[in-house]
Amino acid sequence: MDQSATQAVTETNARATAVDAPATLRSDHRAPERLVLQRGIFTGPSAKVSDELYAVVKGRAHRERQLLRLDKGASAHTNSYFGRFAASYWQRWTTVTQVRVSMVLDVAAKAKVRLVASDIAGHRRIIDTAQVTESGPLTLTAPLDQYVDGGAMWLEFDAVGGDLGIAEVSWTTAAPDHIRPVAIAICTFNRAEDCAHTVAALASDEVVLAAIDAVYVVDQGTDLVENRPRYQEVVPVFGDKLRYIRQPNLGGAGGFTRGLYEVSAANEHADVILMDDDILCEPETVLRLNAFANMTVEPTLVGAQMLFLLNPDYLNVGAEEVHLQDLRHGQKVPKALRNTSMLKRNQERRVDAGYNAWWTCLIPAEVVAKIGLPVPIFFQWDDVEYGIRARENGFVTVTLPNAAVWHADFYWKDYDDWARYFSTRNSLIVGSLHTDLDAKAISRKLFRELSEQLVAMQYGLVHTTLQGIEDFLKGPKVLQDGGIDALAAARSSRADYSETIKHPASTPPVRSGDIQLRRASGEPSRVILVLIKRAINQWFGRTQHGVIGVTREDAYWWHVSLFDHVVVTDASQSGVRVRQRDKARARKLLLRTIHVLRRLRRELPALQREYRAAVPELTSRANWERLYGIESPAKPQA
SS (H, E, C) 100-141: EEEEEEEECCCEEEEEEEECCCCCEEEEEEEEECCCEEEEEE
Angle between helices 382-392 and 251-266 (to 10 degrees): 50
Q: What is the pLDDT of residue 415?
A: 85
Task: Find out whether 359 and 407 touch, Cβ atoms under 8 Å.
Answer: yes
Q: Given a cut of 50, is residue 2 above it in pLDDT?
A: no
Residue 631: pLDDT band (50, 70, 90) is confident
Taking residues 506-515, report their average pLDDT. Answer: 92
Q: What is the pLDDT of residue 235?
A: 97
Q: Given a cut of 50, is residue 142 above it in pLDDT?
A: yes
Residue 606: pLDDT band (50, 70, 90) is very high
Q: What is the pLDDT of residue 1?
A: 38
Task: Find out whether 439 and 333 touch, Cβ atoms under 8 Å.
Answer: no
Residue 522: pLDDT band (50, 70, 90) is confident
What's the rounded Cα separation, in Å, for the pair 356 and 330? 9
Q: Given a cut of 90, is residue 398 above it in pLDDT?
A: yes
Residue 552: pLDDT band (50, 70, 90) is very high
Count other C-beta atoms under 10 Å from residue 268's C-beta. 11
What's the rounded Cα separation, in Å, for the pair 632 and 483? 22
Q: Given a cut of 70, is residue 9 above it in pLDDT?
A: no
Q: What is the pLDDT of residue 121?
A: 93
Q: What is the pLDDT of residue 634?
A: 53
Q: What is the pLDDT of residue 144?
A: 96
Q: Given a cut of 50, is residue 264 above it in pLDDT?
A: yes
Taking residues 487-500, report their average pLDDT. Answer: 92
Q: What is the pLDDT of residue 636?
A: 45
pLDDT per position as a tens digit, 23-40? 888 777 888 899 999 999
What's the rounded Cα separation, in Å, for the pair 284 and 205? 8
What's the rounded Cα separation, in Å, for the pair 378 and 542? 42
Taking residues 596-623, report their average pLDDT. Answer: 97
Taking residues 345-368, report their average pLDDT. Answer: 97
Taking residues 297-305, report their average pLDDT. Answer: 98
What's the rounded Cα separation, in Å, for the pair 314 and 319? 14
Q: What angle do CA 46, 189, 255 make, to 5 degrees?
A: 105
Residues sharing a CB contact under 8 Å with residue 539, sequence separation 6 or more, in sequence order: 583, 586
Q: What is the pLDDT of residue 406?
A: 97
Q: Given a cut of 60, is residue 635 above it in pLDDT?
A: no
What's the rounded Cα separation, in Å, for the pair 466 and 469? 5
How are beta strands 271-276 and 320-323 bridged, if at all?
unpaired
Give the H or E element holding residue 287: helix 283-295
Q: What is the pLDDT of residue 29?
A: 80
Q: Given a cut of 70, is residue 211 above it in pLDDT?
A: yes
Report the percentage of the chain scoring pLDDT > 90.
Answer: 90
Q: Given a cut of 50, is residue 4 above it in pLDDT?
A: no
Residue 637: pLDDT band (50, 70, 90) is very low
Taking residues 569-594, report their average pLDDT. Answer: 96
Least confident of 5-14, 410-419, 493-502: 5-14
Residue 3: pLDDT band (50, 70, 90) is very low
Instruction: Determine if residue 335 is left, alpha or beta; phi over 0 gives left, psi from -120 to 50 gives alpha, anything else beta.
Output: left
What's the rounded Cα separation, in Å, for the pair 589 and 250? 30
What amino acid is encoded at 582 in this protein?
Answer: D
Q: Given a cut of 90, is residue 414 above it in pLDDT?
A: no
Q: What angle do CA 61, 64, 68 make, to 5 degrees?
A: 45
Q: SS3 sequence, 382-402?
A: HHHHHHHHHHHCCCCEEEEEE
Q: Given a cut of 90, is residue 409 above it in pLDDT?
A: no
Q: H-type helices in 473-569, by residue range?
A: 484-493, 527-540, 557-560
Looking at the DSSP bridge assignments, the partners of residue 132 are 111
Q: Mean pLDDT across the chain, nearest whole number?
A: 93
Q: What is the pLDDT of residue 28?
A: 76
Task: Find out whether 322 and 386 touch, Cβ atoms under 8 Å.
Answer: no
Q: Given a cut of 50, is residue 17 above it in pLDDT?
A: no
pLDDT per position as a tens digit, 104-129? 999 999 999 999 999 999 999 999 99
pTM: 0.93
pLDDT per position as a tens digit, 266-281? 999 999 999 999 999 9
Task: Find out whether 363 and 409 touch, Cβ atoms under 8 Å.
Answer: no
pLDDT per position as a tens digit, 156-207? 999 998 999 999 999 999 999 889 999 999 999 999 999 999 999 999 999 9
